[in-house]
């Protein structure tokens, strides 16, 4: 008699053996990195371009691979916030699971979490952070003030934090001039010295409309009546050097005045021996602009929020294209 086969047992055994083949054989398990600690230091400064941000990892399972500054600036200014992207790599057999703000400990430079993401099976973490707002040195104090009692020229030492300077003249303790905006470290006050007295000047550095330094005043010098007359008469028609001459080769001639030139540039002497500063003047049916020192300007000028273009001869362009291919209308204003 044939022995019966136990089909039930065989089926169970086959199923069991088949199940074994469905279970994957994992290798060594990877270590999870669920917390990241970083230290930041930066040498970025207001008024400078570029700079670096150094980042140090405080964990043994990951390291800093690269740091990228994201801001696109030519020069760092007050209140700029550097934004950086930090690339972290996990050590072998480790991976990143940190993906929330609370998973990151960021120290130094006021670093704050912005965002994070992972790549390459979570072996690379890309972290974006912002640093504290930049603050300038705040030191707009100007030193080294001197007033020449024979020429009326004031001078001072450069302050690298200042964008420009404001200056004014005093006689016998009272202001006797306008406040002038100056980008150099000297200014000719000769046209403001009109009588004898004790003269001094004040200067302060200016960074922007809301950040100005304190006024610093020079020692006073005594200027007698004869010297004051020479300065005010001989120099009232000149913004620059004492070496000047009338010329028929200037940008224009007028019966009410004439063009003069020195080593700095051209200016226009009016019939009353005065000259225009930081303003427009209409001469021989053409408009010209003169800077704060009285010299004729060429190229682009920003005046009351509008741009104008002045040719090589100083005359304002109207109804035409500028050499750099911008159009100005009949009033000389650039049309975007």
Q: pLDDT tens, 305-316?
A: 899 999 999 999
Show the DSSP H helices in the chain as ranges: 7-21, 225-235
Q: Whole domain around residue 301: which residue ranges? A: 258-335
- Asked if residue 14 is part of any domain, the answer here is no
pLDDT at 27 over 60: no
- Asked if residue 305 is part of any domain, the answer here is yes
Confidence category of residue 137, pLDDT binned at 50, 70, 90: low
Q: Which two tokens stand for residue 70?
A: 């994201």
Least confident of 160-164, 255-259, 315-319: 255-259
pLDDT at 96 over 90: yes
Please tell me whether the overall predicted TM-score, pTM, comes out greater than 0.75 for this model: no
Q: How far, in Å, CA of 27 to CA of 37, rounded?
A: 29
Q: What pLDDT was estimated at residue 23?
A: 41
- Asked if residue 138 is part of any domain, the answer here is no
- Asked if residue 224 is part of any domain, the answer here is yes
Q: Do both 126 and 49 map to the same domain?
A: yes
Question: Residue 330 region, left (φ>0) first, then alpha (ψ -120 to 50), else beta?
Answer: alpha
Q: Which two tokens stand for residue 103?
A: 């998973």
Q: Do both 211 and 270 map to the same domain?
A: no
pLDDT at 180 over 80: yes
Looking at the structure of the chain, the number of domains it has is 3
Q: Do both 53 and 116 map to the same domain?
A: yes
Q: How far, in Å, CA of 161 to CA of 156, rounded?
A: 14
Q: Do both 219 and 159 map to the same domain?
A: yes
Q: What pLDDT was estimated at residue 46?
A: 79
Q: Do both 154 and 207 map to the same domain?
A: yes
Q: Do both 213 and 159 map to the same domain?
A: yes
- Asked if residue 94 is part of any domain, the answer here is yes
Q: What pLDDT was estimated at residue 6?
A: 52
Domain boundary among 233, 248, 271: 233
Q: What pLDDT was estimated at residue 177?
A: 85
Confidence category of residue 100, pLDDT binned at 50, 70, 90: very high
Q: Do both 158 and 105 map to the same domain?
A: no
pLDDT, mean of residues 175-197: 88
Confidence category of residue 160, pLDDT binned at 50, 70, 90: confident
Q: Do both 64 and 125 map to the same domain?
A: yes
Q: What pLDDT was estimated at residue 138?
A: 61
pLDDT at 70 over 70: yes
- Asked if residue 246 is part of any domain, the answer here is no
Q: Do both 97 and 41 map to the same domain?
A: yes
Domain boundary among 72, 96, 130: 130
- Asked if residue 294 is part of any domain, the answer here is yes
Provide the percentage of residues in the chain whose pLDDT is more than 70.
Answer: 83
Confidence category of residue 102, pLDDT binned at 50, 70, 90: very high
Q: Do both 45 and 121 map to the same domain?
A: yes
Concatenating the DSSP letter of every residue in 39-83 gives EEEE---TT-----EEEEE--SSEEEEEEEE----SS--TT---E
Least confident of 13-17, 169-173, 200-204: 13-17
CATH code for the domain in which residue 285 is found: 2.10.270.10
Q: What pLDDT was estimated at residue 256?
A: 60
- Quote the mean pLDDT of the chain: 83
- Asked if residue 20 is part of any domain, the answer here is no
Q: Do both 90 and 150 map to the same domain?
A: no
Q: pLDDT tens, 229-275?
A: 888 655 444 444 333 333 333 444 444 678 888 778 898 888 777 78
Domain boundary among 101, 130, 159: 130
Q: How far, in Å, CA of 295 to CA of 262, rounded?
A: 10
Q: What pLDDT was estimated at residue 251?
A: 46
Q: What pLDDT was estimated at residue 237?
A: 44
Provide the percentage of residues in the chain whose pLDDT is more than 90.
Answer: 53
Q: What pLDDT was estimated at residue 80?
A: 86
pLDDT, mean of residues 60-71: 95
Q: Do both 224 and 268 map to the same domain?
A: no
CATH code for the domain in which residue 173 is found: 2.60.40.10
Strand partners, 260: 246, 267
Q: What pLDDT was estimated at residue 223?
A: 95
């Amino acid at each position: 008699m044939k022995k019966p086969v136990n089909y039930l047992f065989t089926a169970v055994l086959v199923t069991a053996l088949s199940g074994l083949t469905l279970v994957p054989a994992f290798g060594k398990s990877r270590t999870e990195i669920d917390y990241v600690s970083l230290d930041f230091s930066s040498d970025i400064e207001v008024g400078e371009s570029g700079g670096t941000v150094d980042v140090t990892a405080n964990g043994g399972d990951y390291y800093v691979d690269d740091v990228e500054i994201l801001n696109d600036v030519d020069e760092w200014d007050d209140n700029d916030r550097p934004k950086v992207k930090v690339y972290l790599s996990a050590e072998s057999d480790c991976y990143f699971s940190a993906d929330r703000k609370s998973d990151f400990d960021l120290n130094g430079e006021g670093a704050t979490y912005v965002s994070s993401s992972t790549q390459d099976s979570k072996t690379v973490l890309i972290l974006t952070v912002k640093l504290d707002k930049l603050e300038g040195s705040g030191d707009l104090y100007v030193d080294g003030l001197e007033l020449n009692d024979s020429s009326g020229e004031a001078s001072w030492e450069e302050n690298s934090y200042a964008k420009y300077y404001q200056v004014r003249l005093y006689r016998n303790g009272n202001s006797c001039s306008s406040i002038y905006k100056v980008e150099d470290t000297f200014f000719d006050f000769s046209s403001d010295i009109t009588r004898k007295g004790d003269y001094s000047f004040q200067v302060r550095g200016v960074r922007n409309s809301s950040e100005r330094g304190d006024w610093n005043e020079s020692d006073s010098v005594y200027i007698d009546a004869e010297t004051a007359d020479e300065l005010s008469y001989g120099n009232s028609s000149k913004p620059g050097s004492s070496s000047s001459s009338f010329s028929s080769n200037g940008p224009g001639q007028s019966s009410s005045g004439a063009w003069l030139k020195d080593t700095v540039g051209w200016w226009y002497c009016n019939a009353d021996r005065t000259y225009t500063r930081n303003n427009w003047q209409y001469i021989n049916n053409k408009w010209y602009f003169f800077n704060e020192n009285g010299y004729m300007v060429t190229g682009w000028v920003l005046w009351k929020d509008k741009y104008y273009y002045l040719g090589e001869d100083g005359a304002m362009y109207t109804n035409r294209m500028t050499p750099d291919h911008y159009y100005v209308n009949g009033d000389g204003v650039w049309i975007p």
